[in-house]
Structure 1
Amino acid sequence: MRAKERHNIIKQLLTNNKKVLVSELSDKLDVTEETIRRDLEKLETEGILTRTYGGAVLKEGSFEGVNFYKRATINLEEKQKIAIKAIELLKNKPTIAADSSSTVIEALKLIRNQKDVVLLTNSTEVLREFTQSELTIVSTGGIFNKNSLSLQGSLAKDMIRKYNVDILLISCKGLDKEKGALDSNEVEVEFKKVLVQQASEVALLVDHTKFDRSAFVQLVDFKNIDYVVTDKCPDETWMQFFEENEIKVLY
């Protein structure tokens, strides 16, 4: 069994049971305990779990496998601060694309009554939340992911390629100066990459906990990001990094 397959199984077991034991995982996955310890170490660097004596527990605030509505309550105040700052970027932007993240939806709530704005999204929560909105909403269609309340798959990606938008709002699980913006769901990442290709500008909405945090797969390189919107000023090294990469920071 490949490492990626083991990691997915471990994350699912953590989601279901909140904890795992090295000995039990070794038996279940038919690998040595040392291999399991390396797997747990890798997942810990991604912010998925916290290792304990003899095993690991699901890390509080870990978003992988957590229901959308639970995610939406985590760091809500920070998300709302980010939303307010993000509004500055949406002025005179008649076409907007958005991922299904809870941070981005907080920003969309603030423009729900704007007329003559077209919103392209794979979020099914937007369809529910914005039934009385003045926005013109274009849904991507696709395979429904009930955990993230999003639409995914080839149908969704093909739909996106039909449109060009002024700005894209996305979020992620971690930021690394060398690796870029990182996420934990590979299927979701492939979808977001197509969104990035169709947008004239890209705004990354992330709270302060995402800085210097790793995740499973690269979402986008910093050269493709125009704005970073966060809840408080990043440290000096990050601000210098953003300046060198011509990324505007709003906080």
Structure 2
Amino acid sequence: MFAVERNRIIKNFLRENRQVEVHALSSMLNVSEVTIRRDLEKLERDGILTRTHGGAVLREIEESVQVEKNPDVSQDSREIASVALNMIEDGDVIMLTGGDICDCIARRIVEKNGITVLTNYIPVATEIARQPANRVVLLGGDVADDGRSLYGSLSVANLRRFHVNRLFAEVEGIDENLEVSVASHEKAELIEAAMESAEEKILLCLGDNFNRNAFFRLGSLKLADKVITNPSISDEYKHQIFVRNIQLHTSINVFEGRV
């Protein structure tokens, strides 16, 4: 990962958390603490932060214009995250993509031990880096326009070096033909690579995102082993997923296809 990418990630981390620790950034970005200290020195010269013993804090002038954090995620997202958490076993290696549901899962992983999380989503990496019982690998790549996600050829190449037990991929649309779509072609490319590396492929989709199409087609729902959503989806969708031998999990029940 180039210095300019690290600096953007560190600045976003600071805007969300107001302080950083050298050892946490070193682990999250997979570089030495010496490299992180050099990055912090540069950002201090740029007026972004003030270095402290073992880390840095956001400067007041920067703090006054920081972007507000996202509002609290929906109850539907939290319910899906709770179901997903029950599928994760101590010692697992998992992949979390970007989105509110994956952010919720990351916050709950503190309840587990020995989890290794691969992610391209900076808020997830930030959260896992605070959990001493678990570890995170932040995939490198190009910083997306949202300043929170990493995509591109470097992300994909790094991802393909790993084997994961479970992939949790948040998607933005599942239409009436059970075709899955996501917000961008970069996200689709990353999920496709993650599916090649995962033993178990689990899609996360809000109930409200059924019967709709997002920007870029990922493929058939049959790509997944399991789908987690809210119980509000229609009986017709439940039946269509059932006959395709895909497990459908909601916050209150499970529909397991047996054709």
TM-score by length of 2: 0.65
What CA distance in whole angstroms lies between the structure 2 residues aligned with 1:221 and 1:197?
15
1:77 and 2:83 are equivalent in the alignment: no
TM superposition shift of 1:220: 3.4
What letter matches 1:156 in structure 2?
A: S
TM superposition shift of 1:186: 1.3
TM superposition shift of 1:228: 1.2
What letter matches 2:249 in structure 1?
A: L
Secondary structure in 2 matching 1:110: helix
Counterpart for residue 200 of structure 2: 201
Matches within 5 A, 1:17-166: 69-70=69-70, 73=72, 76-91=74-89, 94-133=92-131, 134-147=133-146, 149-166=148-165
Secondary structure in 1 matching 2:157: helix
The list of structure 1 runs, each at least 4 consecutive aligned residues, that deviate by more than 4 angstroms after superposition, is none
Answer whether contact 2:90 2:112 (CA < 8 A) is retained: no
Secondary structure in 2 matching 1:138: strand
Counterpart for residue 247 of structure 2: 248
TM superposition shift of 1:130: 2.7
Summarize deviations over 1:137-184 as a string: whole Å, max 9, x none: 111111112505111111110000001111100111110142521112
Structure 2 residues without counterparts, runs of 5 or longer: 1-66, 251-259
Secondary structure in 1 matching 2:181: strand
What CA distance in whole angstroms lies between the structure 1 residues aligned with 2:151 and 2:232?
33
Aligned length: 183
Counterpart for residue 227 of structure 1: 226
What CA distance in whole angstroms lies between the structure 1 residues aligned with 2:247 and 2:94?
19
Identical-residue share of aligned pairs (%): 21
What CA distance in whole angstroms lies between the structure 2 residues aligned with 1:68 and 1:155?
29
What CA distance in whole angstroms lies between the structure 1 residues aligned with 2:211 and 2:167?
23
What CA distance in whole angstroms lies between the structure 2 residues aligned with 1:92 and 1:211?
32
Counterpart for residue 237 of structure 2: 238
What CA distance in whole angstroms lies between the structure 2 residues aligned with 1:153 and 1:176?
26
Answer whether contact 1:227 1:247 (CA < 8 A) is retained: yes
What CA distance in whole angstroms lies between the structure 1 residues aligned with 2:236 and 2:163?
34
The verdict on how the C-alpha distance between 1:115 and 1:92 changes in structure 2, with shifts beyond 3 A counting, is closer
RMSD value, Cα: 2.1
What CA distance in whole angstroms lies between the structure 2 residues aligned with 1:168 and 1:245?
20
Counterpart for residue 186 of structure 1: 185
TM superposition shift of 1:199: 0.8
What CA distance in whole angstroms lies between the structure 2 residues aligned with 1:121 and 1:247?
25
What CA distance in whole angstroms lies between the structure 1 residues aligned with 2:225 and 2:143?
30
TM-score by length of 1: 0.67
Summarize deviations over 1:114-154 as a string: whole Å, max 9, x none: 22211111111122223321211111111112505111111
Secondary structure in 2 matching 1:218: strand
1:171 and 2:155 are equivalent in the alignment: no
Summarize deviations over 1:183-215 as a string: whole Å, max 9, x none: 121122111111111111111111110110112
Counterpart for residue 19 of structure 2: none
Answer whether contact 2:183 2:216 (CA < 8 A) is retained: yes
Answer whether contact 1:182 1:220 (CA < 8 A) is retained: yes
What letter matches 1:194 in structure 2?
A: A
Summarize deviations over 1:75-109 as a string: whole Å, max 9, x none: x1110111111122113561101101121111121
What CA distance in whole angstroms lies between the structure 1 residues aligned with 2:185 and 2:68?
17
What CA distance in whole angstroms lies between the structure 1 residues aligned with 2:140 and 2:148?
12
Secondary structure in 2 matching 1:178: coil
What letter matches 1:247 in structure 2?
A: I
What letter matches 1:96 in structure 2?
A: I
TM superposition shift of 1:112: 2.4
Matches within 5 A, 1:8-19: none
